[in-house]
Structure 1
Amino acid sequence: AQSYQHQWVLKNIASFGGDPNKIVINGESAGAGSVRTLLGSPKAIGKFRGSIAMSNLGGGVDLGLTGNYATTYSSYLTPAQSYARSEALFEEVGCNQTTLDARISCLRATPAQTIVNAATVARYVVQDGVYVNTEDLDVYNRNGSAANVNTIWGIVANDGASFSTYPKTPVASELAGIQAALGISQAEAQSIIDSGLFPLYNTGNITLDSFNVSQRVATDNQFRCIDQATVYAGVESGAFKTSYFYQMQRSAGGYDPNNLGGPPVEPGYPYGNPEKPYFKLHGSDMPWVFGNLNPLRDANDLKSVQLESGYFASFVRSLDPNPPANYLQVRGYTNTTQGVQQSGPWQPVTSDQGPMKLLDFPSVTADFQDLPQCAFLNYPISYYVNGGL
């Protein structure tokens, strides 16, 4: 579907005053997975000049699991694998006729809500040999199989909190909490503790503290590790022209199946105090990219939205997230000018250390995070450089 949309934009954008030679594709979550797919799609390569992938999912083949919810967004099924999963969906919704045509007719007649409620879903990118012809995005072998464009990749600080399970009843130990939150065996949960790489938080609430460890593991093994490794390989090989990486440090809302809520409400902060600790959830960065945060919780909410939306708008306009000073000054963008000056330039990734930008007001330059943790989870920074090993 995204490929058809891309073709429509190419054909029609000039009618809206746009330039088909200056297209930048952008997506968040599953949309970021679509961006990743288009970066390697023969039908799309050469037809856009930049990309932004926000919280792309992937990885998950670790801790005794053969994969999780995130895996197939960055690793694509063969037709046979896709068909096998479709068979499970047919069976689950009662479409078990003997011929495929009859099964498809049955599925078309099945109420949409029944399909949505099914445990088995058919949402996978498939190696069809036309739109997708590789198992994953090849970012290391510079052979034309990846679009040689400018890119931005990034995550939200606690993306994984949205994909971990907060225990419904209090747990008695860190081990039990990690096992429940990640759906892994006791032995694998113990290995996380024994690694010493994911220290236990200490709020006095063992259920919350063990969940906090679990969400860090989930953030790493479903988002951070795969995306940092992708960017590093693309830069190392020259598959990408330039790549920038970010972590969103300030957020609002997002996907919250655990009802974790936002920052604490305090006197003077009726919508929560964003300077206090809270989980930055999956999808909660979008108001900062599109500039539509409402309500504002403090003065830095407004300033950070202006700064971050300025970064992304600058990239779309010029393929560089650093807006020129004269561009900001002539438009009277005082807060953004101040933020850019205090934050310093957003530098492209140049090595296995990064750098990356921690987006807030001001933003901070930092190295890639959790490299030892990613190596423990079998997704080291060299994962794609080493051929996905």
Structure 2
Amino acid sequence: MQYPSTPVVETRCGAMAGFTDDDVHAWYGIPYAAPPVGNWRWRSPRPPASWEGVRDATAFSSSSWQSSEYCQELGGGDPGQFSEDCLYLNVWSPAERTTPVPVMVWLHGGGFTLGAGGLPPYNGKTLAGRGVVVVTLNYRLGHLGFFAHPALEGEEDRVVHNFALLDQIAALEWVRDNIAAFGGDPNCVTLFGESAGARSVLSLLASPLAEGLFHKAIVQSGYTLPDTPRGQALQKGEALANHFGLENATADQLRAIPPEAFWPLAAPLNVAPAPVVGDCVLPEAMLDVFFAARQHPVPIMIGSNSDEASVMGIFGIDLAGQIQKLRRERRFGLGLIKLLYPGVKGDEELGRQVCRDMAFTTMGYVVMQAQQRAGGLCWRYWFDYVAEAEHATYINGAWHGNEIPYVFDNLGRIEPSRHYVNARDLQFSAQVADYWVNFAREAGKGDILSGPTHWPACRKGRDVLLRIGVNKHAGFRLANRFMRARMSLFKRVMKHHVSLD
């Protein structure tokens, strides 16, 4: 079938011309909010301006200010040009469709300091080819996305510190109002993300401002770090102003700081990889909302990877040192932990597994229990597949973020994996992507997801998890009460012992 090479859609702000890539239409660089520049820095996003004529939508927009070097090394590729004018999204839609299809909105990771919606691993073409509309987006990063200072108090009729989360909410409102023109079903929106993107999904599940804007959620490697208290965020804002020689700074002085001056700042002036609690977006800490089972009532898929501790070196965490600290300060606690990790030898390996489970694996257990208490559905997974040629490199399993090219089925299309993957790797990648699309399509209609292994949700009394990859090899296997004793302990202590200190 021949498809128009220049698909044109009519949005509420005007017409947009995209392009056709095989059997998928795509539109890049769509404004979902007005540029947050000048006096609009550190304010809630505003609707985008309308335009006359047909706007070209064939190139990605600028990304939020960040380290290009770090993003290329750790964040998924070259983020391109930087600008505060970065609030744009991208859409992929199947060219051939007869009825509205499910929508999948992706929030990228990167510790809230790196990343962009247009990076190669997030290309939505192959997912859209499965019969869904895929949306990726940029949001404000670093201090541009999360900031508090007394000089900014009272500028709006509400307290705002989590500007990045408000950007994501504005993008979801744009999806609600416009996605039907792209063939998407605005009543079947799945919000999914990884790392900081997963933390964003968790935050929006807890935010009163996001209620009703999405109908399903996927949390990939969400972490248990506590939110930053508002008082602490205000103190950090004043310390940052003092760093720039601005004691008793005014709002105008703060907004005159060049945007490129923020991202190189190191601890303690940098931004924590967790939102701020105490503003209109998060009046209550995300973890507290889940502990009380007051999250939005939508089906959730949540999981993490077998070597999440791989990311901790980036934050300077000494894995063996964490065990040595326990030995000095909490010998009883260390003895209990050793009982939960029989056969694990050495401080380095024990530290790797304990830090992985406290910071990442336990989040899935917390969400599962919250969903069970609220009468909701929860699918849990554990990702442990490594491309066959890379087993010697990934000794301890799948690193933080390694599941992303499988989820998007882009393994054979991105660097460097396209040079070493084989047919079995690609087949496994396709099966993983199918599960994600099946969740977007099926979750809530029943409590079983179709796939190579029928994947049941964790209803009340059922604690089951799907192992996606088994000991780095291909396979899908159900596991009952996965790490249950560890999870029970870490849920009790994580609010007091999970930090980046």
Matches within 5 A, 1:119-198: 119-123=268-272, 124-136=274-286, 138-139=289-290, 141=292, 145-164=294-313, 179-180=320-321, 184=325, 186-188=327-329, 190-191=331-332, 193-195=334-336, 196=338, 197-198=340-341
Q: Which amino acid aligns with 2:411?
A: L
SS at the partner of 2:405?
helix
Note the C-alpha offset of 1:141.
Answer: 4.8
Alpha-carbon distance in 2 for matches of 1:149, 1:42? 14
Note the C-alpha offset of 1:304.
Answer: 1.6
SS at the partner of 1:9?
helix
Counterpart of 2:190 in structure 1 is 24
Size of the aligned set, in residue pairs, is 313
Q: Is the 8 A contact 1:182 1:218 kept in 2?
A: no
1:269-291 deviation digits (Å, cap 9, x = unpaired): 6x334899533211111111110
SS at the partner of 1:88?
helix
Alpha-carbon distance in 1 for matches of 2:394, 2:409? 22
Counterpart of 1:12 in structure 2 is 178
Q: Is the 8 A contact 2:277 2:284 kept in 1?
A: yes
Equivalent of 2:487, from 365, 368, 374? 374
Deviating more after overlay: 295-304 vs 2-11: 295-304
Counterpart of 1:98 in structure 2 is 248
SS at the partner of 1:27?
strand
Equivalent of 1:232, from 369, 376, 381? 369
Counterpart of 1:114 in structure 2 is 264
Higher helix share: 1
1:28-84 deviation digits (Å, cap 9, x = unpaired): 0010111011112222112211000101011xxxxxxxxxxxx13xxx344323212
Equivalent of 1:288, from 392, 396, 406? 406
Q: Which amino acid aligns with 1:84?
A: Q
CA spacing shift, 1:100–1:367, aligned 2, 3 Å: farther
SS at the partner of 2:187?
helix
Matches within 5 A, 1:35-114: 35-58=201-224, 71-72=225-226, 76-91=227-242, 93-101=243-251, 104-105=254-255, 107-108=257-258, 111-114=261-264
CA spacing shift, 1:146–1:192, aligned 2, 3 Å: closer
SS at the partner of 1:363?
strand
Note the C-alpha offset of 1:351.
Answer: 4.5
Q: Could you say which structure has the greater relative contact order, defined with CA pairs below 8 angstroms and 6 or more residues apart?
A: 1
Q: Is the 8 A contact 2:194 2:222 kept in 1?
A: yes
The yes-or-no answer on 1:249 pairing with 2:384 is yes
Counterpart of 2:164 in structure 1 is none
Alpha-carbon distance in 2 for matches of 1:158, 1:307? 21
Alpha-carbon distance in 1 for matches of 2:394, 2:319? 24
Alpha-carbon distance in 2 for matches of 1:108, 1:312? 40
Note the C-alpha offset of 1:162.
Answer: 2.0
Counterpart of 2:431 in structure 1 is 307
Structure 2-normalised TM-score?
Answer: 0.55
Alpha-carbon distance in 2 for matches of 1:95, 1:317? 53
CA spacing shift, 1:98–1:189, aligned 2, 3 Å: same
Note the C-alpha offset of 1:122.
Answer: 2.9
CA spacing shift, 1:362–1:178, aligned 2, 3 Å: closer
Q: Which amino acid aligns with 2:466?
A: K
Alpha-carbon distance in 2 for matches of 1:126, 1:276? 34
Q: Is the 8 A contact 1:43 1:131 kept in 2?
A: yes
Deviating more after overlay: 96-105 vs 2-11: 96-105
Root-mean-square deviation (Å): 3.4
Alpha-carbon distance in 1 for matches of 2:421, 2:261? 42
Alpha-carbon distance in 1 for matches of 2:396, 2:290? 35
Note the C-alpha offset of 1:230.
Answer: 1.9
Q: Which amino acid aligns with 1:45?
A: E
Q: Which amino acid aligns with 1:272?
A: E
Alpha-carbon distance in 1 for matches of 2:487, 2:206? 24
Alpha-carbon distance in 1 for matches of 2:185, 2:459? 30
Q: Is the 8 A contact 2:308 2:398 kept in 1?
A: yes
Counterpart of 2:457 in structure 1 is 348
Alpha-carbon distance in 1 for matches of 2:394, 2:234? 48
1:243-267 deviation digits (Å, cap 9, x = unpaired): 1000001146xxxxxxxxxxxxxxx
Equivalent of 2:468, from 353, 356, 359? 359
Q: Is the 8 A contact 2:191 2:217 kept in 1?
A: yes
Q: Is the 8 A contact 1:322 1:346 kept in 2?
A: yes
Q: Is the 8 A contact 2:320 2:349 kept in 1?
A: no
Q: Is the 8 A contact 2:449 2:455 kept in 1?
A: no
Alpha-carbon distance in 2 for matches of 1:82, 1:275? 39
Counterpart of 2:125 in structure 1 is none
Runs (5+) with no aligned partner, structure 2: 1-166, 413-417, 496-501
Q: Which amino acid aligns with 1:303?
A: Q
Note the C-alpha offset of 1:218.
Answer: 0.8
Q: Which amino acid aligns with 1:17?
A: G
Alpha-carbon distance in 2 for matches of 1:374, 1:273? 28
CA spacing shift, 1:276–1:24, aligned 2, 3 Å: closer
CA spacing shift, 1:44–1:166, aligned 2, 3 Å: closer
Q: Is the 8 A contact 1:220 1:370 kept in 2?
A: no
Q: Which amino acid aligns with 1:308?
A: V
SS at the partner of 1:146?
coil
Q: Which amino acid aligns with 1:23?
A: V
Higher strand share: 2
Note the C-alpha offset of 1:358.
Answer: 0.2
